[in-house]
Amino acid sequence: MKRILAKAGIALGTVALAVTGAVVTAAPANAALSDCPSGGLCAYLGVNGSGTPGVVYGDNTNLLQYNKFNNAESLYNNGTSCNVRIYSGTGYTGSSYVLSRGYYNGSLANTVYWHNVASNDWCV
């Protein structure tokens, strides 16, 4: 009986670690992410928020003019009160998705946004 309880305890501990890990990765845990100024949408040339961020504020119809957004591999919404909608086309066109406030997308690989964050719209 003690063996069964010990195995069950190990299994529950493993599940707890997995759940805790998932929660931790959803929040900013990277030093480069902390370099993103409050209120900004930050784009990084590396995955998982690595490197120096390129930052914009407010709505932007053409982010492709900025190297970090034109070549973005990850994004972080460090907005103070809103979610932000990201678009693959300039002028709020193309595919879009909402990046919640305080969250980051660690890799844009295999999406239309890889090296192509074209415009953004706040408070959606």
Write the CA distances from 121 to 52, 53, 77, integer angstroms.
Answer: 22, 19, 12
Place of tokens 């190297």: 67
| In a domain? residue 106 | yes
pLDDT of amino acid 32 = 74
- Tens digit of pLDDT for each residue in 67-117? 999 999 999 999 999 999 999 999 999 999 999 999 999 999 999 999 999
CATH number of the domain within which 96 lies = 2.60.20.10
Indicate the number of domains in the chain.
Answer: 1
| In a domain? residue 107 | yes
Alpha-carbon gap, residue 29 to 33, rounded angstroms? 7
Instruction: Write out the residue range of the structural domain in which residue 108 sits.
Output: 30-122
| In a domain? residue 22 | no
| In a domain? residue 16 | no
| In a domain? residue 74 | yes
Residue 18 has pLDDT above 70, yes or no: no
Residues written for the chain: 124
Q: What is the pTM of this model?
A: 0.75
Q: Work out the burial of residue 115: count CB atoms within 10 Å of its CB; fewer than 13 is exposed, 13-18 middle, 19 or more buried.
A: middle
| In a domain? residue 2 | no
